[in-house]
A and B are shown apart, each in its own frame.
Chain A
Amino acid sequence: MMALNPIARVIAPRFWGAVISMPMLAAMFSAMGVFGGYLVGVVLLGVDEGAFWSQMQAAVDFRDDIVNGIIKSAVFGVAITLIALFEGYDAPPTAEGVSRATTRTVVTSSLAILALDFVLTSFMFRGVG
């Protein structure tokens, strides 16, 4: 092997890249979702634009919905990036090893997201009726 530290050269940039981009992707997709609702509701079905935004603002709370969503996406980002990095680092350097590592990453990270989502939700909605 070359005298390089693989943790610093390969793992760390990927880890930070994914952890930083996850909340941004989450924000973008939430915005896209709202925009999609706007497109269908206002443009296609003819709901009044002012009514749409006022109902949207009445239903969405900044702290409860948006900030919590960002926190969740950051936690998911840490979890799935660590899983993916571990599987990739651990994979045997063959075609079979890479494909097995990919499959295991997908399965493990979906289960991790399911479990973490449950835990985070129960923490965030504690005390909210």
Chain B
Amino acid sequence: MAMKRSTLDLWVGVFVAAGLAALMFLAFKVGSMGAFDVASSYTIKADFENVGGLKVRAPVKSAGVVVGRVSDIHFNPETYEAEVMLNIDDRFKFPKDSSVAIMTSGLLGEQYVALEAGGDDKMLVPGESLKITQSAVVLENLIGQFLYNKGDGGGESDKAAK
């Protein structure tokens, strides 16, 4: 009550400004709103046998540079494969025989889609699907394979092979 009316109004203004600044910070820096989505893009499709831990909004990288984002992942009940929609920036065109693979950045990092350009003269058109895909590496399968090979290479290789 001791505060003058004008001082009080000033503090209210400071409070509201701080609140709006916090919201802006959350929206742009943390939420990455408008980081990539504003640029016009086209969608291509890729079928994977296994997408592993790939998530929607994961980056699509070509030569290590982000050129797009995963916009949708769903299961196709007819082919029993995962259909992944890739939103690629309009500035980048890729040949028809480009290949995609699901890779991991770092040992425990996020998974991303690596898009490798092919040598075809014709370019991909929006909505087209990529033919050459490489699934995510599943660690359990890798370990299983390693153990199997290890057992195979041992003394009882004849029994194991049969």
Binding site for B on A (CB under 8 A): 21, 23-25, 27-28, 30-32, 34, 53, 55-58, 60-62, 65-66, 70
For B52, list chain A residues within 8 Å (CB).
none
Measured in the bound complex, the distance between the Cα atoms of B57 and A60 in whole Å is 11
Q: A24 to B33, Cβ gap below 8 A?
A: no
For B31, list chain A residues within 8 Å (CB).
57, 60-62, 65-66
Measured in the bound complex, the distance between the Cα atoms of B66 and A58 in whole Å is 13
Q: What is the minimal beta-carbon distance from A72 to any residue of chain B, in angstroms?
A: 14
Size of the B side of the interface (Cβ < 8 Å), in residues, is 21
Within 8 A of A (CB), among B54-90: 55, 57-58
For B35, list chain A residues within 8 Å (CB).
57
Q: A55 to B110, Cβ gap below 8 A?
A: yes
Measured in the bound complex, the distance between the Cα atoms of B29 and A34 in whole Å is 10
For B19, list chain A residues within 8 Å (CB).
21, 23-25, 27-28
Q: A57 to B110, Cβ gap below 8 A?
A: no
From B20-28, B92-100, B130-138, B147-155, the one touching the partner chain is B20-28
For A30, list chain B residues within 8 Å (CB).
22, 26
Q: What is the minimal beta-carbon distance from A63 to any residue of chain B, in angstroms?
A: 9
Measured in the bound complex, the distance between the Cα atoms of B132 and A112 in whole Å is 55
Task: Indicate if B143 sits at the interface (CB-CB under 8 A).
Answer: no
Q: What is the minimal beta-carbon distance from B81 to any residue of chain A, in angstroms?
A: 19
Q: Mark B99-121, 1 if CB is under 8 A from A, else 0.
A: 00000000000100000000000
Residue of A nearest to B20 (CB): A24
Q: B20 to A34, Cβ gap below 8 A?
A: no
Measured in the bound complex, the distance between the Cα atoms of B30 and A66 in whole Å is 9
Residue of A nearest to B18 (CB): A28
For A25, list chain B residues within 8 Å (CB).
19
Q: B33 to A27, Cβ gap below 8 A?
A: no
Task: Indicate if B16 sits at the interface (CB-CB under 8 A).
Answer: yes
Task: Indicate if B32 sits at the interface (CB-CB under 8 A).
Answer: yes
Measured in the bound complex, the distance between the Cα atoms of B146 and A87 in whole Å is 68
Measured in the bound complex, the distance between the Cα atoms of B27 and A70 in whole Å is 12
What are 24 residue pairs bridging A and B, where the CB atoms are less than 8 Å apart in the complex?
A: A23-B19, A24-B15, A24-B19, A24-B20, A25-B19, A27-B19, A27-B22, A27-B23, A31-B21, A31-B25, A31-B30, A57-B31, A57-B35, A58-B32, A58-B58, A58-B110, A60-B26, A60-B32, A62-B27, A65-B31, A66-B23, A66-B26, A66-B27, A70-B23
